[in-house]
Structure 1
């Protein structure tokens, strides 16, 4: 059985819970924001692939490479911004909401994200 993106699943589950008073989210560089967007997109594609969504099969399997990209990106964000896990998960949730606002948004970002994934060497 393929593992789900544990941090993403945890963040999505926490979205239903009332949010505690949080510190402001850090501003991200273009590179950080792009990596975060792709990390979340990979998680969404992976979830769709597990659910058997037909359009998700157009993309490479995200179970291992996408998950590793997500883990490395969130760890790097914590290192580079000094943010704690909860703050990074808030960034993940913000990106998840942004990708979900427009139908087809994940499909729009995936070509560039796949290039970023390949460039990462994963």
Structure 2
């Protein structure tokens, strides 16, 4: 598993102020399109940040995502736990699935432009 993803999963395991008490995965609400998009973008940011850290020329074409991408995930994750009733463990599992899906379908380059727009719109 990539280092940034592990960092993000670690951050998910930390207490988050002002979030509702999470419920079990079986009773968590399904994610709406905006929530799913935020989760997918969080995974994309983690992938690009790791590639940037490794010096990948294609990844370096994107703005630096180490800090901004991590902060986006922290904020989005807190909202997901609050709004969808996810536990930290469920959120981490969803993030891992998104990373695996992006790798499997090779969609990173296609999803980065809208994800960068979402990042800019978030004010981070």
Q: Same fold (TM over 0.5)?
A: yes
Q: Any residues of structure 2 matched to 1:35-74 within 5 Å, and which?
A: 35-74=38-77
Question: Of residues 91, 94, 97 in structure 2, which corresponds to 1:94?
Answer: 97
1:119 maps onto 2:99 in alignment: no
> TM-score with structure 2 length normalisation?
0.79
Unaligned 5+ residue runs, structure 1? Answer: 12-21
After superposition, residues 17-36 of structure 1 pair within 5 angstroms as 23-24=25-26, 26-36=29-39
Q: Deviations over 1:56-83 (max 9, x none)?
A: 0110000111110011111111111111
What root-mean-square deviation, in Å, do the aligned CA atoms of Structure 1 and Structure 2 show? 2.2
Distance change >3 Å, CA 44–CA 106, structure 1 → 2: same
For these two proteins, the number of residue pairs brought into alignment is: 109
TM-score scaled by length of structure 1: 0.80
